Amino acid sequence: MMVARNDLEYLGLCVILIVVSVCTATGAWNWLIDPETQKVSFFTSLWNHPFFTISCITLIGLFFAGIHKRVVAPSIIAARCRTVLAEYNMSCDDTGKLILKPRPHVQ
């Protein structure tokens, strides 16, 4: 089975987005449960939690770079195509190849 380059790129972007999101959530949890967070200033607190700070900056940078559009757009396009094609007894796979369905028999 041959995998298209776009499929690998899409999978890679999804993995990157998931990993950075999990790292940010984990760092945020550790940042919030730290008792020192309430006692020091905001910037000192961020300085004390570099894992959260770096992962949060990375996540914000990825969103500014438009990774969310690249991850979501292919699935939205495929879903819209399937909706339109269903009226004509057709469909398409995730790569965009047309799938012809048998005609319903009217008796």
- Cα–Cα dist 80/20, whole Å: 29
Q: Look at residue 96 and give its three-state secondary structure.
A: coil
Q: From 91, 73, 71, select the one nearest 81 (Cα to Cα).
A: 91
Q: Output the CA–CA distances (angstroms, integers) from residue 89 to 36, 73, 107, in the order listed.
A: 62, 24, 18
Task: Determine the pLDDT at residue 43.
Answer: 92
pLDDT in tens, the chain (107 residues): 444 555 667 677 778 888 999 999 999 999 999 998 889 999 999 999 999 999 999 989 988 888 767 666 667 677 778 888 888 888 888 777 888 888 777 66
Enter the pTM of the model. Answer: 0.60
Task: Determine the pLDDT at residue 5.
Answer: 55
Task: Determine the pLDDT at residue 101.
Answer: 85
Contact, 96 vs 102, CB < 8 A? no
CA 43 to chain CA centroid, Å, is 29
